[in-house]
Chain A
């Protein structure tokens, strides 16, 4: 509870007494590039493979001849859009980007780089963290979109190569009973999760005290805490859906 309050105050610090807009612009783009480079490879790998595995697993479980084969890709599509793309990727994102943010800020804190900014009269929390949070919220939905697309593609490749479903059936299934809502839903999740991951990780990093060991600990805590926050938020958003 106490740390929740501290986290809220930290969020307040990000937006009060900001630096001029032009200062953030460059930092924002730098962070976007960094986040993209950091997480693209792993997100691509994870989503393609999960998509492939989902397709084969679903096929394996659908033994009844009365169920049409295109249901396989329908299942893959729905899980990919609703869970894999936003939530599963969030866990990967927390591991990559979250730990990076916490480690970077933690190092800056213990080597007094944060103090150096403060002495100059710069709001260090806002200067260092706000661009990261905004860049995360900008890049993550893009990553989620890529992940969703690739998971479905992964399913297609696995399904067609293994012969459990024909290309025509797969494409038909993807388009059957498609709800546009699931895309907006995935993007809503993307915004919420990326905000949680970047801000919690930044919070953990920013309040690191001690030495290299504590930076490591902050990094780990950043990942676990943001994963927990993501899963809790996922649950509440799912509630909101039904």
Chain B
């Protein structure tokens, strides 16, 4: 479980996050939803410790990340896996080496143990057979799969995804969303997904934190999101024709 309390962040004179609190539960696909530029990525980065918030706290199973000393922070980081918006694969390394990278750097496993673990993860995300390919040779959807494999290879407990289906066709997007949800259930992860994609939200949003201009506007699940009273959320959901038709 991850708990965030009153997260605030200002860049120079621009306040991007106005005190956001939420609880992301274990075994659930938690989503941070909102239009582009509302501060979703900044919020995610404050949670994983890439951007230090000006105020507020982030608790990983009760452990306060920003109060922790360096060793404790390192320990928490080892439990974190992250899928980046552009996948952020290391472009000088093959698919296999990308997935092995965290093990090489952070684990004391033997070579064969590492290879087994990498094989297992690649197979899990449906990439067996592409081990030797370079990131530049594979499609966007495959890159996301490699990113997911790299994020879970350390047996992380927390999985973060920034726009996991950006740049993918709708069909592949749903497949990737479902893969993330399956993995969350399978390994009982605390998963936090940032997205501006309404489809994803409806598909896998077990907990939804809806943001607008750096503020939390609504929270709930995909079962009751269509009934939400917030006009901003209504506008967001019913922005396309398909959804407007569904409403009628």
Contacts and interface: CB of A to CB of B under 8 A. Distances in A.
Nearest to B45: A115
Contact of B105 (A108, A112, A115, A120): A120
B86 A119 contact: no
B50 interface: yes
B85 A112 contact: yes
Nearest to A17: B70
A121 B91 CA distance: 20
B80 interface: yes
Contacts of B88: 111-113, 115-116
Contacts of B48: 119
A119 B90 contact: no
Nearest to B160: A119
Interface string B61-98: 00000000010011001101010111011110000000
A23 B101 CA distance: 11
A19 B48 CA distance: 20
Contacts of B50: 115, 118-119
A116 B84 contact: yes
Contacts of B242: none
B105 A113 contact: no
Contact of B80 (A17, A108, A111, A119): A119
Interface string A102-141: 0000011001110110111110000000000000000000
Nearest to B48: A119
Contacts of B45: 115
Contacts of A116: 82, 84, 88, 90
Pick the 10 closest A-B CB pairs, nearest first. A121-B77, A112-B88, A116-B88, A112-B84, A121-B74, A119-B82, A113-B88, A111-B86, A119-B48, A115-B50
Given A115-B50, A116-B82, A121-B106, 9 more contacts: A23-B105, A111-B86, A111-B88, A112-B85, A119-B50, A119-B82, A119-B160, A121-B77, A121-B78
Given A17-B70, A113-B91, A115-B50, A120 B106 contact: yes
B79 to A, nearest CB: 10
B90 A113 contact: yes
A118 B70 CA distance: 13
A112 B84 CA distance: 7
A115 B87 CA distance: 11
A23 B160 CA distance: 26
B19 interface: no
A115 B102 CA distance: 14
Interface string A80-118: 000000000000000000000000000110011101101
Contacts of B86: 111-112
17 contacts: A17-B70, A108-B90, A111-B91, A112-B84, A112-B86, A113-B89, A113-B91, A115-B50, A116-B82, A118-B49, A118-B50, A119-B50, A120-B102, A120-B105, A120-B106, A121-B74, A121-B77
A213 to B, nearest CB: 16
A113 B50 CA distance: 12
Nearest to A114: B88
Given A17-B70, A113-B90, A113-B91, A119 B85 contact: no
Given A17-B70, A120-B105, A120-B106, A115 B84 contact: yes
Interface string B101-116: 0100110000000000
A108 B142 CA distance: 19
A116 B73 CA distance: 16
B105 A119 contact: no
Interface in A178-213: none
A24 B29 CA distance: 38
Contact of B73 (A111, A113, A121): A121
A112 B78 CA distance: 18
Contacts of B74: 121
A176 B158 CA distance: 71
Contacts of B89: 113
A116 B49 CA distance: 11
A214 to B, nearest CB: 15
Contacts of B77: 119-121
Contacts of A122: 105
